[in-house]
Amino acid sequence: EHSLLGLKDLSASEIGSILDRAAYWESRSEKVIPVLKDRFVANMFFENSTRTRFSFEMAEKRLGAQVLNFAAAVSSVEKGESIYDTVRTLESMGIDAGVIRLKPVGVLAELASRISVPLVNAGDGNNEHPTQALLDLYTMKKHFGELKGLKVSIIGDIKHSRVARSNLWALQAMGAEVKLCAPESMQAPELGRYAPYVPMDEALCADVVMMLRVQLERHAEGLLKSPDQYRLQYGLTEERAAKLAPHVIIMHPAPVNRNVEIDDAVVEHPQSRIFTQMANGVPIRMAVMERALK
């Protein structure tokens, strides 16, 4: 039984196995294949979510698991109960695995060490979002055939992005070439040791242009002074999208701030794979939950 707390320490062969297993699950046409029948999974979201929460639930139900959904806003967290006591409570009731999304960074590893069931990270602060990066890699691999040598630019609010970090670790493990692009106020200087920060024009010369959401909820007040100015300097505008080479694919983890980091008309551009990414979240999470529970 395997927890999945992040991709930083996952080997290329482990990542490759998850991607291959997701391809297997995607190839199965039956809606429900009950290999996790009689296993109980709790989806514990201490921070809001639409895609991650529902695609985990979809994946778990497609594998026949019994699913319990926990949302902090309607729980005893509102009375001051801690994350540990909440997870320990669900564990004591007999769950076999937990999917967990957390606001704070640095508590997941300790939590996992004190809980005996496998935990799957559904996003912790700005640290990691491993299943998002796995579905992103899956989307790229399906489109281009292989990840080795692929040029991927990650553009936008890198500082606050767990998606950027998980993608950076996993893409580099798989031999892709990653470049970063962000205004100075949204750079994470410590990541510059792993991938270069480049100007926007250079970032757009890639195979994959991955735009990131400006994460207003994690900003100190006033960090995004002018959404219009940000769009002009770092947004994937219609004009910039029109100049991309025809083989380039556009990605974004969503939710999107339309007309800030990506223009309204570019979200469903023919080169956009944004909704394909969401679809691919289900087989990836089937592979991850099978790995956690079998």
Question: Among residue numbers 192 through 211, which ones bind ligand CP (CB under 6 A)?
Answer: none
276 near ligand CP, rule: CB under 6 A: no
Concatenating the DSSP letter of every residue in 176-230 gives -EEEEE--GGG--GGGGGTS-B--HHHHTSSSEEEE----GGGSPTTSS--HHHH
Binding part of the chain for ligand CP, among 9-17, 22-30, 50-58, 186-194 by CB under 6 A, reads 50-58
51 near ligand CP, rule: CB under 6 A: yes
50 near ligand CP, rule: CB under 6 A: yes
Largest CA distance in the chain: 56
118 labelled binding-site residue: no
CA dist 97 and 160 (Å) reads 28
141 labelled binding-site residue: no
Could you tell me if residue 166 is left (phi over 0), alpha (psi between -120 and 50 degrees) or otherwise beta? alpha
Q: CA 214 from chain center: how many Å?
A: 15
**Which token pair is 228?**
């219009």
CB-based contacts of 41, cutoff 8 Å, min separation 6 = 60, 65, 66, 67, 68, 95, 96, 97, 98, 99, 289, 293
79 labelled binding-site residue: yes
Q: Other CB atoms closer than 10 Å to residue 24's CB: what's the count?
A: 12
187 near ligand CP, rule: CB under 6 A: no
253 near ligand CP, rule: CB under 6 A: yes
89 labelled binding-site residue: no
Q: Which is nearer to ligand CP, 123 or 125 (CB)?
A: 123
Q: Which is nearer to ligand CP, 91 or 125 (CB)?
A: 125
**Residue 18 in contact with residue 280, Cβ under 8 Å?**
no
Give the residue from 256, 22, 266 showing the smallest Cα distance to 135.
22
71 near ligand CP, rule: CB under 6 A: no
Window 106-135: contact mask with ligand CP (x via CB under 6 A): -----------------x--------x---
Q: Which is nearer to ligand CP, 7 or 91 (CB)?
A: 7
Cis peptide before 196 (omega within 30 of 0): no
280 near ligand CP, rule: CB under 6 A: no
By CB under 6 A, name the one of 17, 49, 66, 69 that touches ligand CP.
Answer: 49
179 near ligand CP, rule: CB under 6 A: no
218 near ligand CP, rule: CB under 6 A: no
Site of interaction with ligand CP (CB under 6 A):
49-53, 123, 132, 253-255
Residue list, annotated binding site for L-aspartate: 79, 162, 213
